[in-house]
Amino acid sequence: MTNASLIARHQDSLVLNYGKLPATFVRGQGSRLTDADGKSYIDFFAGFGGTILGHCHPALVSAITQQANTLWAVGNQFYTEPQVRLAEQLRATAFDGRAFFCHSGAEANEAAIKLARLAASTAGREGRFKIISFLKGFHGRTLGALSATPTPDYQKGFAPLIPGFTYVPYNDLPALEAAIDPQTCAVIVEPIQGEGGINVPDSHYLAGVRALCDQHHLTLIFDEVWTGCGRTGVYFGHQLAQDELGKGVIPDIMTLGKALGGGVPVACMFAKPELAALLKPGTHGCTLGGNPICAAVAAAVFDTLEKENLPAQAAQKGKRITDALASFKNVGKIKQIRGSGLFLGIQLHAPDAGPVVQAALAAGLILNATSKNVLRLAPALTITPRDLEEAMPLLDQALSAV
Ligand code: PLP
C-alpha cells in the first residue's frame, strides 16, 4: 500500500464529504505519525482534537486491551463499572453533574438541546422552546446541532432546520440580552469558539451569560467538545471563566466529545442533577453509549490527565509555542495569536491559511486551518519538548507559503 494507491481506492468507495490532505497514515506513536510511504510527521492537530494523549499512549493501550479481554457491550439496561468510574471522574473534575454517554459531540449537543426544552416544558413554561446560539459557533452536523450552528455553508441545502434557533454575535452581552424573549429556554455557547477561529471571549463574558440565564430562567449549555479534558490548561474551559469578584462560572449542562475518549468515540452530556433527573427511562437513549470499551479508555484518559498533570503541561507548552512564535523570521505574517493552553489560533494577514497547512504537511508537520485564515494548533498534551522544538522551525518555514 502507498499513499497514492489507498487514496485511489478511497475515492471509489467512500462518501467524499471531507476535504482531504494527501496522506494515508498507517502508524502513530505519541505525537509522531508515519504515512504509507514511510514518511514521518509531527502531529500538531492530534486527531482533530481526539488524540489528546497522543497516539498509542501505554495507559490507553493497556485500558483498551484489558477491557477488550473482559467485557464488551451489554446494553444500557444493565449496569457496568467503567461508565460509573468515568462519570465519577467527571464529577470530581468538573462539577456535581450526572452523565449521559453517547458517541459524538453532535449527539451530546442533541441531548442537551432536548433536555433544555424538556426542562422548560416540565417547569410549566410550555411554548418556551427557543435556543440562542452564536455567530461563528459550531455544534455539529446532526439536524439539531446544525440548527444551532449558523454558518450558511454548513446549513445550505438542508432546510427546513429545527425551528427555534436565534443567532447573536459572540462576546456581546447586550446583543444576547436583546435576543432573549418570552419563548427563549436556553443558550448554547462554546467557552472558546473553535471552528470560528479560536475566539476567546472577554474575561467576564461567560459570567455575564450565566447572569442573564439566571435572570431569565434559561438553561445554560457550555459546548466543551473542544475546550474539555485539559486542552486549555484547566480540566474544562468553563474553569477559565469568572465574574468581577472572582467567582467561577458553572453551566447547567456541559457537553464533551473529541478528547474524552482519547481517540475512541465517546461523548457526554453532563447535566446538573435537578436537570438530569428529568430524563426518565424512555425519554432519551443511545444503544452503545458508554459501552465498557470506550468508557474504560476515557476513564484511563482522566487517570492520565491527573497522573501526568497534563492540564498544567498544556498551559506551559502553549506558552512555549507562543513565545517561539514571537521570534519567528516570519512573525510579520501573523496578525494575532489567540487561545489558551494547547488550543491556539494564529490568524494570518493573508486571506487563506491553506497554503501554510499544505507546506507544513510537505515538510512533515500536521496543522489545520479554520475560519479561512486562522491556523489552528491542537497538539497532544503529551507532546515531548523535543517534538515541540522540532516543530517550531517547520511552522516558521511553512509560513513562507503566504
Ligand atoms: N461542538 C464543537 C465545539 C465542535 O468543535 C464539534 C466538532 O468539531 C462538535 C460539537 C461536533 O462534534 P462531533 O464531530 O464529534 O459530532
Residue percentage of the chain with pLDDT more than 90:
99
What is the model's pLDDT at position 249? 98
**Which is the closest atom of ligand 1 to the Cα of 267?**
15
43: Cβ below 6 Å to ligand 1?
Answer: no
C-alpha cell at 194: 473553535
Task: Return the SS3 of 121.
Answer: helix
Probe target for ligand 1 pocket from 101, 103, 136, 139, with the most ligand atoms within 8 Å of CB: 139
What is the model's pLDDT at position 65? 98
pTM of the model: 0.98
| 225 alpha carbon – ligand 1 mean position (Å) | 6
Q: What is the average pLDDT score of the chain? A: 98
What is the model's pLDDT at position 274? 98
| 195 alpha carbon – ligand 1 mean position (Å) | 9
Q: Indicate the pairing of strand 32-35 with strand 25-29.
A: antiparallel
User: What are the E-state strand segments in 96-144?
Assistant: 98-102, 130-134
**Which is the closest atom of ligand 1 to the Cα of 104?**
15
Probe target for ligand 1 pocket from 151, 226, 264, 270, with the most ligand atoms within 8 Å of CB: 226
195: Cβ below 6 Å to ligand 1?
Answer: yes
190: Cβ below 6 Å to ligand 1?
Answer: yes
The 32-35 sheet, strands edge to edge: 25-29, 32-35, 40-43, 365-366
| 24 alpha carbon – ligand 1 mean position (Å) | 23
Question: Exposed/middle/buried for 167, CB within 10 Å: 0-12, 13-18, 19+?
Answer: middle
What is the model's pLDDT at position 189? 99
106: Cβ below 6 Å to ligand 1?
Answer: yes
Range of weakest confidence among 58-67, 118-127, 249-258, 386-395: 118-127
- What's the mean pLDDT in 61-77? 98
Probe target for ligand 1 pocket from 192, 258, 374, with the most ligand atoms within 8 Å of CB: 258
129: Cβ below 6 Å to ligand 1?
Answer: no
344: Cβ below 6 Å to ligand 1?
Answer: no
User: How many residues are listed for the chain in this entry?
Assistant: 402
Task: Kindly report, residue by residue over 76-128, the tens digit of the pLDDT.
Answer: 999 999 999 999 999 999 999 999 999 999 999 999 999 999 999 999 888 99
Is the per-residue pLDDT at 309 higher than 90? yes
Sign, CA dihedral 89-94-97-101, equals: negative
191: Cβ below 6 Å to ligand 1?
Answer: no
Is the per-residue pLDDT at 260 higher than 90? yes
387: Cβ below 6 Å to ligand 1?
Answer: no
Q: What gap in Å lies between CA 291 and CA 300, rounded to an integer?
A: 14
What is the model's pLDDT at position 126? 83
Catalytic residues: 138, 223, 258
Task: Kindly report, residue by residue over 296-305, the tens digit of the pLDDT.
Answer: 999 999 999 9
C-alpha cell at 146: 446544525
| 49 alpha carbon – ligand 1 mean position (Å) | 9
